Amino acid sequence: MPPLYIFIVSLLCSLNTLPWSAADDTLATGQVLTADDKLVSRNGKFALGFFQPDNGISKASNTTITSPGRYLGIWFNKIPVFTTVWVANRERPITIPELKQTHLRISGDGNLVIINHATESVIWSTHIVNRTETSINTSVVLLNTGNLVVQGSSGVPLWQSFDYPADVVIPGAKFGWNKVTGLNRQVISKKSLIDPGLGSYSVELNGTRGVILMRRDPPKVYWSGLTSPTLIPELRSLLDMDPRTRGLIIPAYVDNGEEEYYIYTSSDESASSFLSLDMSGQIKLNVWSQAKQSWQLIYAQPADPCNPFATCGPFTICNGSSNPICDCMESFSQKSPLDWELGDRTGGCTRNTPLDCALSSNSNTTSSTDMFHSIAHVTIPYNPQTIQDANAQSKCEQACVSVCSCTAYSYQNGICSVWHGDLFSVNLNDGIENHSEDVLYLRLAAKDLQGLRKNKRKPIVTVVTTVSITTLVLLMLMVLVMIWRNRFRWCGAPLHGSDGNGGIIAFRYADLAHATKNFSEKLGSGGFGSVFKGVLNDSFPVAVKRLDGARQGEKQFRAEVSSVGIIQHINLVKLIGFCCEGDKRLLVYEHMLNGSLDAHLFESNASALNWRDRYQIVLGVARGLSYLHESCRECIIHCDIKPENILLDASFAPKIADFGMAVFVGRDFSRVLTTFRGTAGYLAPEWISGVAITPKVDVYSFGMVLLEIISGRRNSPEERTSGKNHVAYFPVRAISKLHEGDLMSLVDPRLHGDFELEEAERICKVACWCIQENEFDRPAMGVVVRVLEGLHELDMPPMPRLLAAITKCSDVPST
């Protein structure tokens, strides 16, 4: 029975779903929470568990940067962008070797503790004081608000995470202090994107001084806001002006005999937001956008991101109107580029060339060839030293150069200021809150300063030559464009995103006919044409797709050049070029030595893929789809994910191919209405209903492909002719066996049991969540990647209603 028919029939059958098993939100005395467990609030919005921070894919190394340790924390459970709202052991990460020996439990004295059960050493504890009940009556509950509460039998909180915030405040949490107990809910920024430890900045409510933002080391207040009756109305007015927060965020200020605090609530319990103190020292309010599937910045204070003290580290210049805001001073380089990428700029920048300064052996004078470079329109650095008798700029410069530790000077309005050692908070006049016209003279080695001056003279000397050459080149390009349009006049309609096709080659048909030996070696064929093996320049192997059919071939040709031509990713097939002559449409791709995935999974004469290669393929395809959905300028929905469109290189690394059915979704939209497309057996249910689609159609297809990779067989049902006919639909069986804990019967028997059980279970869970009939229940591909990398956990998936209906209608056997 065709899978498409099964979906249609199933819609007519009973759609009673299996009961949903909600995750537990409570940890009782005697129970433990291990590294693989988590508590989930009753509304499913928040989760508590052990996590490992990561920064996604590094721009520099193209690899995932992860923290060396694990932490206990609370995060938004339903949001695909992993976002923590509280961390327990910020200063004591759990090392990977001790992770399996570590769990969370209620100790004998009633405290909640993270403990290494092998050594009985406490990693973190709540430190509850003035207890009146025994631990037998104690329980820990993760509330719907995201507040973790330790409570006695009466339900009165003995301790709560809302009183000990990390770097985030969420709706319902108080930000302020208790006048009776002295409890101060201070918020401290984290160190970096992969280190939630105590960072450089803090914010607190401090009596008459109001909200205080300060640098922790050295201690320095850089922003304060007095608490007053006018502050909340002004904030409400600001929030009501923004359609994203109008009526959603409700701030309040309370000051009584016991407490003083700010608090904000949300009128929509399903909405998600958080207020954070980020690594650069700014308070930021973020609201989750379901349409854009990302956090949207609503409010920031201070308004100028350069306002926090030393936000860019030593020897840097901060410009609040640029992105990124931090840059090194001339002739300086980032001390640690990796730390900068992770948001930690405390190390700042270091000199490219050391200063030339030495104390004379026969006197107390110095000998130096150093010179000074002027930096205009900046704020002068922190902590200057004033030179009283330097009443001219020349004397001020001499006062600095005569001391080897002096790094800069400034002479403004007859006042000479010098600095020794590191320079902090040099901020450019960016027109936001900084309007400084001061000039800083930076001390540099003579070699570096001479290089700067040469670089500045070069544009002036060569400007006439450059203009002449540019004009000539433009004239030549105009001629070439005219020739191109005349030669390829039948290709005149613009390609989507064709302005980004850099590097794609336009081939002549005769050259491709020669490269493929007149299309003699066929690699395969599809609905729109055939693929042939070719060799360019007698050494570079390629695959040449020759498209058939004027109308459909033209549509696929434009779709493929428009999509593959503007993207680059290690798990997407690379488009080398195209040919467009007369009615001929050809596409030239890099040649994949091991062909398509379906040949290795389903052909009887093919050797079975080992488990390592299968898992590499699963992870690679997930990363490729995540890139298409979440990282391109426009979201690209492939629309035809199946084993035939997954190619394998010499090392069996996967590359997604065949973008002829791809559609584009602008970042301002969440879905698109398009014609029916795809392949039976991999189609999401929403295709049949005719609604506008989202990237979740690819997620569904990916889930179906995962099941085929696991089993080494087609998902398509097979009719048994012996006795009564039964439909053995593998996805139904997979979810049933997953719930039973019987993975061995699902894995390809050709592996003879040689596979990783934990990875197989992870793939099965991901697959079964991906094929849920409700698109909102399917995870985004970014989440899928995190799960497959072992950085995120998924609950046991329920049986989708459509598959349950198939089971009921078809009387599917369980084995």
Show the tokens assigned to 713: 């067989």
Nearest Cα residue to 141 out of 131, 153, 133, 129: 153
What is the C-alpha to C-alpha distance for residues 645 and 595, in angstroms, rounded to an integer? 10
By CB atoms closer than 10 A (0-12, 13-18, 19+), residue 560 is: buried
The per-residue pLDDT for 333 is 96
The per-residue pLDDT for 732 is 86
Contact 655, 573 (CB under 8 A): yes
What is this structure's pTM? 0.56
The per-residue pLDDT for 60 is 54
What is the C-alpha to C-alpha distance for residues 3 and 495, in angstroms, rounded to an integer? 34
The per-residue pLDDT for 479 is 56
What count of other Cβ atoms lies within 10 Å of the Cβ of residue 40?
19
Contact 142, 59 (CB under 8 A): no
Q: Which residues of 507-516 are buried (b: 16+ CB within 10 A; e: fewer)?
A: beeeebbebb
What is the C-alpha to C-alpha distance for residues 339 and 115, in angstroms, rounded to an integer? 30
Q: 3-state DSSP call for residue 731?
A: helix
By CB atoms closer than 10 A (0-12, 13-18, 19+), residue 788 is: buried
User: Active-site residue 640, yes or no?
Assistant: yes
The per-residue pLDDT for 476 is 66
The per-residue pLDDT for 491 is 43
List of residues 6+ apart from 28 with CB closer than 8 A: 106, 139, 140
The per-residue pLDDT for 408 is 96
The per-residue pLDDT for 669 is 63
- From 640, 658, 698, 748, the catalytic residue: 640
Half-sphere exposure of 811 (CA within 13 A, CB side): 5
Half-sphere exposure of 312 (CA within 13 A, CB side): 28
Nearest Cα residue to 594 out of 617, 618, 623: 617
Q: 3-state DSSP call for residue 744?
A: coil
The per-residue pLDDT for 354 is 92
Show the tokens assigned to 683: 């189609």
Mean pLDDT per 10-residue interval, the chain, length 815 residues: 45 34 76 94 96 70 77 96 96 92 92 92 89 73 97 88 97 93 94 94 84 90 69 71 79 90 91 94 92 88 90 94 91 93 94 86 73 93 90 93 94 93 93 85 89 56 56 63 44 38 75 92 76 86 80 62 70 87 86 91 86 95 91 84 93 89 73 77 85 90 96 72 52 88 91 93 94 89 89 84 61 44
